[in-house]
Chains A and B, each alone.
Chain A
Amino acid sequence: DVKVTQSSRYLVKRTGEKVFLECVQDMDHENMFWYRQDPGLGLRLIYFSYDVKMKEKGDIPEGYSVSREKKERFSLILESASTNQTSMYLCASNSVLEAFFGQGTRLTVV
Chain B
Amino acid sequence: AQRVTQPEKLLSVFKGAPVELKCNYSYSGSPELFWYVQYSRQRLQLLLRHISRESIKGFTADLNKGETSFHLKKPFAQEEDSAMYYCALSVGGTSYGKLTFGQGTILTVHP
Say whether B44 contacts A90, CB under 8 Å: yes
Say whether B51 contacts A97, CB under 8 Å: yes
Which residues of B sit under 8 angstroms from A43, Cβ to Cβ?
44, 86, 88, 99, 101
Smallest Cβ distance from A89 to chain B, in angstroms? 12
Which of B46, B102, B104 makes the CB contact (< 8 A) with A99? Answer: B46
Which residues of B sit under 8 angstroms from A58, Cβ to Cβ?
98
- Counting CB contacts under 8 A, is A65 at the interface? no
Smallest Cβ distance from B36 to chain A, in angstroms? 8
Count, A-B residue pairs, CB within 8 A: 48
Encode A44-61 as 1/0 by CB contact (under 8 A) with B: 110010000000001000
Encode B71-111 as 1/0 by CB contact (under 8 A) with A: 00000000000000010100000001111111110000000
Say whether B49 contacts A98, CB under 8 Å: yes
Say whether A31 contacts B101, CB under 8 Å: no
Contact A33-B98, Cβ < 8 Å, known A90-B44, A98-B46, A101-B44: yes
The contact sample of 19 A-B pairs, CB cut-off 8 A, is: A31-B96, A33-B99, A35-B101, A40-B9, A42-B86, A42-B102, A42-B104, A43-B88, A43-B99, A44-B101, A45-B98, A45-B99, A45-B100, A48-B97, A94-B97, A98-B49, A99-B99, A100-B45, A102-B43
What is B's interface to A at a CB cutoff of 8 Å? Answer: 4, 6, 9, 32, 36, 43-46, 49, 51, 86, 88, 96-104
